Amino acid sequence: MATQKDFDKKEAIFAATLELVSKHGFHSSPMSEVAKQANVAAGTIYHYFKSKDDLICALYVRLKEKTTETLLKQDDANKHYRERIRSFYLQNFRYFTQNPKEFYFLEQFSNSPFIQAIPRQDLQRLDQPIYDFLRKAVFMQAVRDIPPKIMISMLLGSVGSLVKLQLSGDFQLTSSDIEQAFFACWDGIKRQ
Amino acid sequence: MATQKDFDKKEAIFAATLELVSKHGFHSSPMSEVAKQANVAAGTIYHYFKSKDDLICALYVRLKEKTTETLLKQDDANKHYRERIRSFYLQNFRYFTQNPKEFYFLEQFSNSPFIQAIPRQDLQRLDQPIYDFLRKAVFMQAVRDIPPKIMISMLLGSVGSLVKLQLSGDFQLTSSDIEQAFFACWDGIKRQ
Amino acid sequence: MATQKDFDKKEAIFAATLELVSKHGFHSSPMSEVAKQANVAAGTIYHYFKSKDDLICALYVRLKEKTTETLLKQDDANKHYRERIRSFYLQNFRYFTQNPKEFYFLEQFSNSPFIQAIPRQDLQRLDQPIYDFLRKAVFMQAVRDIPPKIMISMLLGSVGSLVKLQLSGDFQLTSSDIEQAFFACWDGIKRQ
Amino acid sequence: MATQKDFDKKEAIFAATLELVSKHGFHSSPMSEVAKQANVAAGTIYHYFKSKDDLICALYVRLKEKTTETLLKQDDANKHYRERIRSFYLQNFRYFTQNPKEFYFLEQFSNSPFIQAIPRQDLQRLDQPIYDFLRKAVFMQAVRDIPPKIMISMLLGSVGSLVKLQLSGDFQLTSSDIEQAFFACWDGIKRQ
DNA sequence: TATGAATGAGCGTTCATTCAT
DNA sequence: TATGAATGAACGCTCATTCAT
């Protein structure tokens, strides 16, 4: 079926882009290489994406959606907020250490001028689910009344740093290290 | 004096590179533009740097050294560790929000495959002063016995996230927000 | 037909390179000029050749093959060796005086460090047919038992010098001059 | 003494140019490298030579003069022409196999478009001594009445080919090979 | 005379993008 | 829709040459 084939090609292009960009960076990932890796012709990419920038931005959005969904899917509203946030933190660490390509791509992208090409409201939409999750925690008085944006920044900044540390190969983090790191964060944001 | 002139040219090239790369990214900062911005001929850059990569790596090392030095210069060994770490955290925030070009450059660089071009031991040397500072804090039992690498990751991850938030323009952080964020961190790492 | 078009483009690039290099030398024949002369875009050359060096080496191999084939094609195994070698000598002179571009290109190439880029066994393969022709003459006791490599050197050195003399415009060689030069060579190598 | 110093510098520049050009070719021998190798500043070369082309042409003329002089110096007018020409041939072979840099430089130069930069009469002047030597041999009826230009071409073409063969490393020529080659030539040009 | 930092035109090459098939 | 040869602007970089010292 054509639709399935389209899907496959688009997927293949995304996968190839992720592979190459995460390893070599944006400008060392020519479209011709992406095409080769995806087993399509160079021109074919332009049936699915307007330009290289468009492809990269689309991949960013896609990965953001996917990771956010994955990370919140396992949330269990019946548990205590501490447990839910702990689980979110740990999942985050696990997900990215197990999917380093996605981590590298997202970090690279969000620290590059590329990100300015994404409309602000789209960026907001991508963060919305996590944002909602934490705002509710504040509302439920599970955590201190810190603006959710700050809280996200702190949590994700912390976990992101740890992922980077782990992936650098300089340092093997044990699960106790992660727990410890989480509780350090938690002690910082929990309602005393 | 020749030495002064050399210094000026090299400085001008560094400044131009910082300006352009922080604004447009590595690959949207051609050497010809760097030269124009620095008021030198394109070829002149190659008297000071072997290649574009070399220039960018040299600038990274230089900025790292400068910021580390600046951030630790104001450390007062007579104060309590809480105060010293607080000051470090706050200075960090202040320095980077006031020097956004340096922040963007460093973030972009350290999240790009470029960083692999810097020998591991050089990277270690750049982080050594901060590392020493925190290791001593652990040794003095001022903070919990968390591996310093993790502690650095958490502190800098946290403050980096806040700087990004502030610079994004989405959110105006008050100094009370920063204090709050610091104390959250501190509560996490202090010896209870 | 695509294959024909490819052939045409590659041929046009070869012809343009021969034209320019024979007239101006390697380094005064920029790729941009080659492209212009061949009526293709600069980038197109790189579909057919990896680099400028690759193009030039490929052209050398091609011309060597073509001239060797041309020179041996007219050989008539029924004739006496004296006649066959005479014919080879005369053809050689005629071919290169009538195709000065090829002569200048080949001379330039084989006297430049470029030639070291061609694997030794490839060079040997190119000379093999002439080598075989002369070795057989030795074997048949038509000529003295001089190592064929030396004999080739002498014959081709002699005729090459004459071609250079003729093309220099300093001196108009008559066909009697060439005959005379050949017989001088022949008297030197024939079995007495 | 200044004059001596000048001489030394100019010599050093010539020596450096010969060294580099014979090994790497004209366009892989930048003036900056020549300067380094000669232990002078880049600008200094321009006190002695108008341009790179000028330097290379001057070196050509110089080497031509020197080799011609060397080769004719040992001529002994008392001997038979056969002996004198034999000696010239053998010296030629010996000189260039022992001075491969000069051989490679001269071959490269005389097969490149560079040579067109040298006025025709200068070229003639350089060849004049050898030309005279052989013309006299014709006049004395020692050799056949072949135009001296052709005779030079044949002799030098022959010996040049052998030098190339020897220097290529493919083939070790014995002194008997050279003798044989000379007598082949001689049989070709001697008055029967 | 000697220096070598500075110049900038010009090079070889890449690669995002197009378009005839 | 899919192809991939072709394009050519733009890049990083070299190097012959100049000139203030």
- Widest CA span of chain A, in angstroms? 59
* Closest CA-bearing residue to C1' of F4: A41
Res B2: pLDDT: 46
Helices A148-168/A81-98 angle, 10° precision: 40
Which residues of chain C lie closer than 8 angstroms to D177, CB-CB?
147, 150
Same domain, B35 and B79: no
Same domain, C102 and C140: yes
- Span CA (A117) to C1' (F3), Å: 30
Which residues of chain B lie closer than 8 angstroms to A107, CB-CB?
111
At residue D184, does pLDDT exceed 50? yes
Same domain, D67 and D7: no
Same domain, D97 and D179: yes
Same domain, B86 and B27: no
Res D42: pLDDT: 96
Res A145: pLDDT: 80
Integer Cα distance of D154 and D165 in angstroms: 16
First to last CA, chain C: 58
pTM, two decimals, is 0.91
Res C1: pLDDT: 41
C28 touching D, CB under 8 A?
yes
D164 touching C, CB under 8 A?
yes
Q: Within a domain: residue B82?
A: yes
Q: Is the CB of C94 under 7 A from strand F?
A: no
C160 touching D, CB under 8 A?
yes
Integer Cα distance of A186 and A143 in angstroms: 9
**Beta carbons of D161 and C154 less than 8 Å apart:** yes
Same domain, B77 and B37: no
Res D89: pLDDT: 92
Phi, psi (rounded to 5 degrees) for C190: -65, 155
Same domain, C37 and C121: no
Interval A115-137: pLDDT, tens: 989 998 999 899 899 888 888 88
Contact D185, D89 (CB under 8 A): yes
C173 touching D, CB under 8 A?
yes
Higher-confidence position of A7 and C71? C71
Helices B100-110/B81-98 angle, 10° precision: 100
**Beta carbons of B171 and A149 less than 8 Å apart:** yes
Res A102: pLDDT: 97
Residue of C nearest to D176 (CA): C146
Query: Which bases on strand F have an atom closer than 7 Å to a protein beta carbon?
Result: 1-20
Higher-confidence position of B118 and A144? B118
Which residues of chain C between 43 and 62 are close to nucleic strand F, CB under 7 A?
43-44, 46-48
Contact C172, C158 (CB under 8 A): no
D108 touching C, CB under 8 A?
yes
| Nearest DNA or RNA nucleotide to D54 (CA to C1') | F16
Summary mean pLDDT of chain D: 89
Q: Within a domain: residue C151?
A: yes
Integer Cα distance of B143 and B153 in angstroms: 15
What CATH number does residue A132 fall under?
Answer: 1.10.357.10
B113 touching A, CB under 8 A?
yes
Which residues of chain D lie closer than 8 angstroms to C101, CB-CB?
none
What CATH number does residue D32 fall under?
Answer: 1.10.10.60
**B4 CA to chain A: closest CA distance, Å?**
34
**B113 CA to chain A: closest CA distance, Å?**
6
Count of A-B CB contacts under 8 Å: 117
Same domain, B35 and B80: no
Q: Within a domain: residue B154?
A: yes
Q: Within a domain: residue A59?
A: no
- Span CA (D7) to C1' (E5), Å: 27
Q: Within a domain: residue A54?
A: no
Per-residue pLDDT tens listing for chain B (192 residues): 445 556 689 999 999 999 999 999 999 999 999 999 999 999 999 999 999 999 999 999 999 999 999 988 888 888 988 899 899 999 999 999 999 999 999 999 999 999 989 998 999 899 899 888 888 887 787 787 777 777 887 788 888 988 998 998 878 888 888 887 888 778 777 876
* Average pLDDT of span D150-175: 86
* Average pLDDT of span D25-54: 96
Residue of C nearest to D112 (CA): C108
Q: Do chains B and C touch (3 or more CB pairs under 8 A)?
A: no
Res B6: pLDDT: 61
Q: Is the CB of C5 under 7 A from strand E?
A: no
Length, in residues, of chain C = 192
Q: Is the CB of A31 under 7 A from strand E?
A: yes
Res C5: pLDDT: 58
Q: How many domains in chain D?
A: 2
Residue D14 CA: distances (Å) to CA of A130, D54, D66: 74, 12, 13
Res D46: pLDDT: 97
Summary mean pLDDT of chain A: 89
For residue B135, the tally of other CB atoms under 10 A from its CB is 16
Provide the residue type at D131 as one letter. Y
DSSP classification of residue A55:
H
Closest residue by Cα to residue A46 from A21, A13, A5, A11: A13
Determine the residue among A187, A191, A192 to mutate to test chain B binding: the one whose Cβ has the most chain B Cβ atoms within 10 Å. A187
Which residues of chain A between 40 and 79 are close to nucleic strand F, CB under 7 A?
40-44, 46-47
- Span CA (A110) to C1' (E20), Å: 39
Q: Is the CB of B6 under 7 A from strand F?
A: no
- State which residues of chain C have pLDDT below 70: 1-7, 192
Paired strand residues for C190: C143
Same domain, B19 and B77: no
Q: Within a domain: residue A57?
A: no
Is residue A105 helix, strand or coil? helix
Same domain, D38 and D67: no
**A155 token code pair:** 């949590």
Helices A2-24/A52-73 angle, 10° precision: 90
Q: Within a domain: residue D109?
A: yes
C17 touching D, CB under 8 A?
no
Determine the residue among A123, A128, A150, A190 to mutate to test chain B binding: the one whose Cβ has the most chain B Cβ atoms within 10 Å. A150
- Span CA (D54) to C1' (E1), Å: 20
Same domain, B134 and B41: no
C62 touching D, CB under 8 A?
no
Residue of D nearest to C153 (CA): D161
Res B134: pLDDT: 82
Q: Within a domain: residue D17?
A: yes
Res A1: pLDDT: 45
Which residues of chain D between 58 and 87 are close to nucleic strand E, CB under 7 A?
none
Res D172: pLDDT: 87
**Which structural domain, as residue segments, surrounds residue C25?**
1-49
Residues near C24 by beta carbon (within 8 Å), at least 6 away in sequence: D113
C172 touching D, CB under 8 A?
no
Same domain, A38 and A91: no
A183 touching B, CB under 8 A?
yes
| Nearest DNA or RNA nucleotide to A30 (CA to C1') | E15
For A17-31, D50-64, D168-182, which range has the lowest pLDDT when averaged over its residues? Answer: D168-182
